[in-house]
Amino acid sequence: METYRKEIISKPAKPGMPYSPAVGCGPLVFISGNVGRDPGSGEIAKGDIDSQTRQTMRNIAVHLEKAGSSFDQAVKATIFITDMDLFADMNKAYSSFFSDDPPARSCVEVVRLPDPEALVEIELIALKS
């Protein structure tokens, strides 16, 4: 039986935050919830759910790349959305990041997210390539 060790792939952008944005363990990588905040400017993507979802997915892509993975290797996503009426537009933007075989997924409406400007937060589990 193999023994797996936890591997911190990405550290929090703000020191002292009690989570790791990306953690590897064996053949899997776990990406913490991401919102549509531009890492360069620190600003939440302006506009609508489409722009926030696309920025969120670009943020996730950075962690996947650090782990040696990609969206093609994603096995499970969880989406938190502040208004289910935005689902169709979020889904269209989200879908554009996957080829023919998207991961299993859950999507739930939440009252609010830890980032008050965020409309969507996405976490992901993927295989390492």
Give every CB contact of residue 80 below 8 A, 6+ residues apart in sequence: 33, 107, 108, 109, 110, 113, 120, 121, 122
Q: Whose CA is closest to 122, among 43, 5, 95, 72?
A: 95
Q: Whose CA is closest to 93, among 73, 117, 70, 122?
A: 122
Catalytic annotation, pick one of 28, 62, 107, 125: 107
Give every CB contact of residue 66 below 8 A, 6+ residues apart in sequence: 9, 10, 22
CA-CA distance, 12 to 101, in Å (whole number)? 30
25 labelled catalytic: no
Catalytic residues: 107
